[in-house]
Structures are given as structure tokens and as C-alpha cells.
């Protein structure tokens, strides 16, 4: 699998990232290991986890995903081949959440222990924290980098202006800046004002900022839980409407003429967008993951990209900018 470097950092990652929020919890350990093995055998190295995954599931208390990845890397002896991203910011048992210095330091150590490693390749602020001064957060992240516990930092679910503010403050002090931004993003566009709770979507504003500042854009929920291909998964209401109907029609056309699946076109379109977006792929069984991995073989023609880009209600593009 092709490799790329995260922003202006020295961290090399694979062209697709494996999402693992349900690994070691909803997905049992045996299947989790099979999914991780399949990803690694396909050349994947970039794995996305988080300290509180999957505390929201009944019977879970957080840390299940990191613990399972740690066990897998230990058993396979492959830590040195992998690029592991984790996150801090949400509360879960034993952690109040937020981005204050004490929490960042404590939670990083907990993540390292669960992952059975001494450094994270990428550490994200998982959500914004308006109660902690941005200086405190960025200095704490920088201390982790200087201590060798973290190689690069990223932001997830922060608005563009907050990312720019944090990076400006970090630059002024000579601290590390965010090299990657992970947000919600798929081919369909959210309706104006769509509510995703704490989740923030990629928009044109963020694309412009990340493109200009050499920050890698990373997308989660890229396949809308399978809604592109599954009868049992309706398009989420935040996306439903005439714009999505028009875009789905073009997506189906491109998939049909290319002889590939809709999921594969979504992944390929994202990778070929300007600036490129690195998709997080997931799957609860190997068949799904194999389909998503095979998207790497798909290269869309310029005309197909253009048709996909312009599809939909032209007025939406304006709303989407906000």
C-alpha cells in the first residue's frame, strides 16, 4: 500500500487508515485480530483508535480498542511497522475529559500502557475544550513530543478557526503544530444545519486551510455505516434530501461504468480530491474490509471526478461553506 507523510511531520502512514472503535468490544477478539491481520497483510500500517473506545457500549468502560491493538501488536511482534493514532478529549470512567495539561499527560500514559508501547505516532485532540486555554493544551502536547511519547499531534472535531488559532499560538512559541485533522466526511453532503452532536464535518473552509498549510485531512464515517450499498442502512437523516438523491444517482452511474462498488467509488473519490482526503475504513467482518481495501485499485478518470464533484443542488455548495 502506498505510504504518505502526515502534514509536515515525519510520520509515515499508509494510504488507508483502519478504524477500530469497535475492536475488542462489539467485535470479538478473534475477529478483531483477523481484521487487523487482513489490513496489515494488505500493506496497511495506519490504525485509528481512541482512549475511550468503546465506553458507550453496554458492559464496556473504555480502553477496549487500545488494549486489543496492544495485544495484537505484541503477539505479532510488529509494533515497529505500525503507525498508531489515539485520541483524548471525551470523558469515560476514570477520565473527566477535556484538554487540560494534567488530563493530557495522564491519559497519554494510560493509552501507552494499554497499547503496550512507549510512543504514539499521532495523538489527537478528540474534541474542542473551550474551558482550557489553547496555550495550555498546545504546550502539554509539545511536552509529550519532547518527552518522546508522541511523534505528531492532530485535531479532531475542532472548527477550522480553532485549529488555525491553536497552530498560530504553537508557532509563536515554537511548539509542535497540528499535522493532521480528522473530521466526519463522505461523498454525500450534510444538510445545512445538520446536527451531529460533537462531531464536525469537513467543509470547503477547512479544505482550503489544510491545503494551504500542508495539514493532512482524514475522514471518518466515510461509508455512512454501509448506507451506500445496504438496504438495512438508510441514508442518515442529516444527509437525506434532493442533493443526496442527485449525488447518489451520479455515484451509481460512475460505479456501474467502472465495474466497482459504490463504497469503492466513495473511497477513490476522496483520495483523488483536492486536497486529498485520507479515508478511515472499517468493517465488522473481513468481507467488508476486503471490499474497502480493494478501493485502492480504483482510479477514477478526470471526467468522473468532475461529474461527482458537480452533482447535486448547486445552492447546497454555498450552504456547505458555512
Ligand X SMILES: NC(=O)c1ccc[n+]([C@@H]2O[C@H](COP(=O)([O-])OP(=O)(O)OC[C@H]3O[C@@H](n4cnc5c(N)ncnc54)[C@H](OP(=O)(O)O)[C@@H]3O)[C@@H](O)[C@H]2O)c1
Integer Cα distance of 283 and 296 in angstroms = 16
Per the structure block, which three cell numbers stand in for 88?
A: 483524548
The rounded distance, in Å, linking the Cα atoms of 289 and 249 is 24
Determine whether 178 is an active site residue: no
Q: Hey, which residues between 244 and 273 contact ligand X (CB under 6 A)?
A: 263
State the angle between helix axes of 286-293 and 29-41 in degrees (0 to 180), rounded to the nearest 10: 20
Question: Is residue 291 involved in binding ligand X (CB under 6 A)?
Answer: yes
For 7, the 3-state DSSP assignment is coil
Name the DSSP class of 79: G
H and E: helices and strands count for the chain: 11, 10
Interior angle at CA 242, CA 236 and CA 247, nearest 5: 80
Among 6, 16, 48, 151, the residue binding ligand X under the rule CB under 6 A is 48
CB of 318 to ligand X, least distance (A): 26
Choose the stretch contacting ligand X; rule: CB under 6 A; options: 5-13, 115-123, 216-224, 242-250: 216-224
> Could you give the CA distance from residue 215 to residue 7 in angstroms, rounded to a whole number?
4
Helix H or strand E encompassing 186:
none
- Applying CB under 6 A, among 230, 242, 256, 257 the residue interacting with ligand X is 230
> Does 284 participate in binding ligand X (rule CB under 6 A)?
yes
Residues 20-39: x/- map of binding to ligand X (CB under 6 A)? xx------------------
Number of residues this chain uses to bind ligand X (CB under 6 A) = 26
Q: Which residue has the cell 510520520?
A: 11
From the list 224-232, 234-242, 269-277, 307-315, the region that binds ligand X by CB under 6 A is: 224-232
Least Å from the CB of residue 71 to ligand X: 18
> Which is closer to ligand X, CB of 284 or CB of 313?
284
Report the residue from 111, 157, 201, 273 that binds ligand X according to the rule CB under 6 A.
157
| Catalytic pick among 53, 92, 124, 220 | 53
Please pick, from the candidates 36, 282, 295, 300, the single residue that binds ligand X as defined by CB under 6 A. Answer: 282
Instruction: Report yes or no: 85 and 46 within 8 Å, Cβ to Cβ.
Output: yes
Do the beta carbons of residue 246 and residue 312 sit within 8 Å? yes
- Which one among 132, 272, 288, 313 touches ligand X, defined by CB under 6 A? 288
Grid look-up 500542508 returns 214
CB nearer to ligand X: pick between 100 and 288? 288
Q: Which listed residue (5, 42, 229, 258) binds ligand X by CB under 6 A?
A: 229
Backbone angles phi, psi at 18, to 5 degrees: -95, 125
Stretch that binds ligand X, among 55-63, 246-254, 287-295, 302-310 (CB under 6 A): 287-295
CA distance 200 to 188: 15
Catalytic residues: 53
Residue ranges that bind ligand X, judged by CB under 6 A: 19-21, 48, 126, 156-157, 182, 199, 220-226, 229-230, 263, 280, 282-284, 288, 291-292
Amino acid at each position: 500500500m502506498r505510504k504518505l507523510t502526515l502534514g509536515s511531520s515525519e510520520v509515515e502512514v499508509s494510504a488507508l487508515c483502519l478504524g477500530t472503535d469497535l475492536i475488542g468490544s462489539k467485535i470479538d477478539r478473534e475477529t478483531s485480530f483477523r481484521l487487523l491481520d487482513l489490513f496489515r497483510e494488505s500493506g496497511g500500517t495506519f490504525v485509528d483508535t481512541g482512549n475511550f473506545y468503546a465506553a458507550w457500549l453496554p458492559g464496556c468502560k473504555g480502553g477496549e480498542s487500545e488494549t486489543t491493538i496492544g495485544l495484537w501488536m505484541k503477539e505479532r511482534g510488529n509494533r515497529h511497522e505500525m503507525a498508531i493514532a489515539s485520541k483524548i478529549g471525551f470523558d469515560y470512567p476514570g477520565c473527566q475529559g477535556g484538554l487540560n495539561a494534567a488530563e493530557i499527560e495522564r491519559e497519554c500514559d494510560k493509552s501507552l500502557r494499554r497499547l503496550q508501547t512507549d510512543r504514539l505516532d499521532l495523538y489527537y485532540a478528540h474534541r474542542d475544550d473551550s474551558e482550557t486555554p489553547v496555550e495550555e493544551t498546545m504546550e502539554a502536547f509539545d511536552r509529550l513530543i519532547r518527552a518522546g511519547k508522541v511523534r505528531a499531534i492532530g485535531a479532531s472535531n475542532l472548527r477550522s478557526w480553532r485549529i488555525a488559532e491553536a497552530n498560530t499560538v504553537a508557532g509563536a512559541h515554537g511548539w509542535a503544530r497540528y499535522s493532521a485533522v480528522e473530521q466526519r466526511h463522505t461523498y454525500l453532503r450534510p444538510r445545512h444545519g445538520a446536527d451531529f452532536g460533537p462531531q464536525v464535518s469537513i467543509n470547503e473552509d477547512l479544505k482550503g486551510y489544510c491545503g494551504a498549510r500542508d495539514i493532512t485531512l482524514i475522514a471518518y464515517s466515510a461509508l455512512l455505516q454501509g448506507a451506500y450499498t445496504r438496504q438495512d442502512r438508510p441514508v442518515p437523516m442529516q444527509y437525506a434530501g434532493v442533493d443526496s438523491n442527485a449525488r447518489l444517482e451520479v455515484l451509481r452511474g460512475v460505479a456501474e461504468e467502472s465495474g466497482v462498488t459504490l463504497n469503492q467509488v466513495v473511497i477513490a473519490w476522496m483520495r483523488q480530491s483536492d486536497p486529498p482526503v485520507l479515508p478511515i475504513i472499517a468493517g465488522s467482518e473481513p468481507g467488508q474490509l476486503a471490499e474497502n481495501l480493494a478501493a485502492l485499485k480504483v482510479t477514477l478518470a478526470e471526467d468522473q471526478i468532475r461529474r461527482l464533484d458537480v452533482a447535486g443542488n448547486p445552492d447546497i455548495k454555498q450552504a456547505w461553506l458555512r
